[in-house]
Amino acid sequence: TDAFVQITVIRDATLQVLSDVLGWTYTIAWNISYLPQVWLNWRRKSVVGLSMDQITLSIFACICYLFFSVGLYAVPFLQEEFMKRYPRQVNHVRLNDVCFAAYSLCAQLVVIIQCFIYK
């Protein structure tokens, strides 16, 4: 019942490049999506309409996602634990996931700083 075979069905350099391009494309697109709010707050010198609860929860979510992605991307102990717990799964966390989490946290921190600076 514990025996299994893991087979890589497709190992193609073209698909790997396509996967990397699409991964970085979504990362850049999501990162750009944070900029309009920061720009609008700065331009108006106001954060009227923003929910401090939502911003606080977003920061907490970004911190959790950053720990998760850094852990599965760069910490061998956690990678080994993942493979022990889910031996039939593949760790899909890549560098673009770590960059997205870090940028998201920075963007949310800028917004919450704006909340304390502007009325």
Contact indicator for 52, 73 with CB cutoff of 8 Å: no
- Alpha carbons within 13 angstroms on the beta-carbon side of residue 86 total 8
Query: What local confidence, expressed as pLDDT, does residue 89 receive?
Result: 84
Check pLDDT > 80 for residue 2: no
Contact indicator for 73, 93 with CB cutoff of 8 Å: yes
- Please report which confidence band the pLDDT of residue 1 belongs to, taking 50, 70 and 90 as the band edges: low
pTM value is 0.81
Query: What local confidence, expressed as pLDDT, does residue 10 receive?
Result: 61
- Give the tens place of pLDDT for each residue, 72-113: 999 999 999 999 998 888 888 999 999 999 999 999 999 999
Query: What local confidence, expressed as pLDDT, does residue 13 receive?
Result: 83
Beta strands in 22-93 (DSSP E): none
Query: What local confidence, expressed as pLDDT, does residue 7 receive?
Result: 66
What angle do the packed helices 95-117 and 52-74 form, to 10 degrees?
A: 150
